[in-house]
């Protein structure tokens, strides 16, 4: 059996009832993984769409941590399955609107440069909409292969800090 691993997962949506999409995604994910344990979740953040079609709705984002005795590849398979269950097509245009986007950010001290699953997430250090909620729950985390903490990486970003705004908390408190 695989040892238990702490996984960081970024969540995002910009279609329909965005908060409901995130909450349903977390619920489906935990239901799929035997003995998965929810550890912590950041608040919700609204983010302006970048490189999207005109009129695209803003994104709602967050980051959660779960613990499970599965491999990063197995978790990735669950993430893709939950996205599909929530209506996200496997083949889609880049930056297309989506009901749910789930990205594996990190998996303990695991590292992989595999084209299907790169861990830690290869663009995590450039994305305020991921770093802001992650810094809320793990500001002192140093990701494998990095020197700076999540909080230090966030502070060093040169983009507009107002592009990511607090959007409240989760509706369901049984997890968060």
What radius of gyration do the chain's Cα atoms show?
A: 15
Residues composing the chain: 176
In a domain, 172, yes or no: no
Statement: residue 90 has pLDDT above 80:
no
Q: How confident is the model at residue 93 (pLDDT cuts 50, 70, 90)?
A: low
d(CA 70, CA 113): 19
In a domain, 156, yes or no: yes
What integer pLDDT is reported at residue 11 of this predicted model?
Answer: 96
In a domain, 132, yes or no: yes
Structure token digits, residue 63: 């980051």
The whole-number average pLDDT for the span 60-78 is 96
Q: What is the pLDDT of residues 157-173, one digit of tens each?
A: 998 888 899 998 888 65
Which neighbouring-strand residues pair with 13? Answer: 60
In a domain, 171, yes or no: no
Q: How confident is the model at residue 94 (pLDDT cuts 50, 70, 90)?
A: low
In a domain, 174, yes or no: no
pTM: 0.92
In a domain, 173, yes or no: no
In a domain, 175, yes or no: no
* CATH at 88: 3.30.70.560
What integer pLDDT is reported at residue 176 of this predicted model?
Answer: 47
Range of the domain at 134: 5-166
Number of domains in the chain: 1
More confident residue, 1 or 2: 2
């Amino acid at each position: 059996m695989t040892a238990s691993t702490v996984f960081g997962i970024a969540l995002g949506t910009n279609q329909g009832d965005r908060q409901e999409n995130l909450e349903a995604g977390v619920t489906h994910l935990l239901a799929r993984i035997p003995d998965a344990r929810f550890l912590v979740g950041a608040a919700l953040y609204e983010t302006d769409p970048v490189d999207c079609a005109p009129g695209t709705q803003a994104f709602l984002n967050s980051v959660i941590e779960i613990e499970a005795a599965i491999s990063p590849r197995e978790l990735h398979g669950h993430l893709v399955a939950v996205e599909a269950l929530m209506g996200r097509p496997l083949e889609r245009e880049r930056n297309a609107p989506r009901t749910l986007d789930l990205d594996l950010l990190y998996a303990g001290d695991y590292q992989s440069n595999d084209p299907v699953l790169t861990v830690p997430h290869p663009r995590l250090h450039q994305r305020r909409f991921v770093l802001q909620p992650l810094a809320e729950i793990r500001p002192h985390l140093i990701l494998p292969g990095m020197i700076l903490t999540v909080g230090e990486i966030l502070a060093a970003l040169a983009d507009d800090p107002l592009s990511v705004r607090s959007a409240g908390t989760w509706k369901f408190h049984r997890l968060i």
